[in-house]
Amino acid sequence: MISKKMAESLNNHLNVELFSSLLYLSMSSCANEMGLKGAANWFMVQYREEMVHVMKFFTYLVDQGVNIELTAGNAVPNTYKSLLEMMQKTLTHEQSITQRINELSEQAVLDKDHATQIFLHWFVTEQVEEENNDRDLIAKLKLVGDNGHGILMIDAEMAQRVFVQPVGAPLAV
C-alpha cells in the first residue's frame, strides 16, 4: 500500500502526462496545417507514447487500490510559428516532466516506498531518451534555418517514426 500523499502526487502526475498527450496531439494538427506531414506523424507517435505513460500511471495506481481523479485539463496551445518553435516547446515541456519525475522519485525514497521507486525507474530512463530526441531535432532545425528544402528533408525523416508499444506496458490506444 502506498501513502495517501504519494498516491496524490502520482495521480497529479498522471494528469500532467495526459496534458502532454494533448499538447502533442495539438502539435500534430499544427504541423499538418503547416504542410509538414512527417512532423504531424512524429507528434502523433509522441501522443501515443504519452498515452502509454498515462496508462502506466493509471494501472499502477489502480493496482495500488487508488481511485483515480481525472482533472478536466487546461486549454492546450495550438498556435506556433514554426516546427523549430514546436520542438523547443516540446523540449522545455519534457524538461519540466523530468523535474517532476525526479521529485516523485525523491518522495518515494523519503517514504521508503520501494514499489513506487521501481515503478518510476522506467520513467527516469525514458526522460533521457525524450530530451535527447528533442535536442537532436532542434539541432538539425537550427542547421537548416529557414531553408524550405532543409525543413522538408527533416520532415521526411520525421515521417519515418513509428509507434512502438513498450514491452509489458498497458495498451493505451
Site residues, Fe ion (CB under 5 A): 17, 20, 49-50, 53, 130
* Smallest distance, Fe ion to C-beta of residue 133, A: 7
* Smallest distance, Fe ion to C-beta of residue 49, A: 5
Nearer to Fe ion, 130 or 134 (CB): 130
* Smallest distance, Fe ion to C-beta of residue 97, A: 6
* Smallest distance, Fe ion to C-beta of residue 108, A: 18
Nearer to Fe ion, 20 or 28 (CB): 20
Nearer to Fe ion, 9 or 151 (CB): 9
* Smallest distance, Fe ion to C-beta of residue 153, A: 23
Written in H, E and C, the secondary structure of the chain is: CCCHHHHHHHHHHHHHHHHHHHHHHHHHHHHHHCCCHHHHHHHHHHHHHHHHHHHHHHHHHHHCCCCCCCCCCCCCCCCCCCHHHHHHHHHHHHHHHHHHHHHHHHHHHHCCCHHHHHHHHHHHHHHHHHHHHHHHHHHHHHHHCCCHHHHHHHHHHHCCCCCCCCCCCCCCC
**Would you state the cell numbers that stand for residue 9, as one nine-digit string?**
502526487
Nearer to Fe ion, 21 or 107 (CB): 21
Nearer to Fe ion, 53 or 158 (CB): 53
Q: Of all residues in this chain, which one has the CB nearest to Fe ion in the complex?
A: 53
Give me the long-range contacts of 145-151 (CB less than 8 A, separation at least 24).
151/36, 151/83
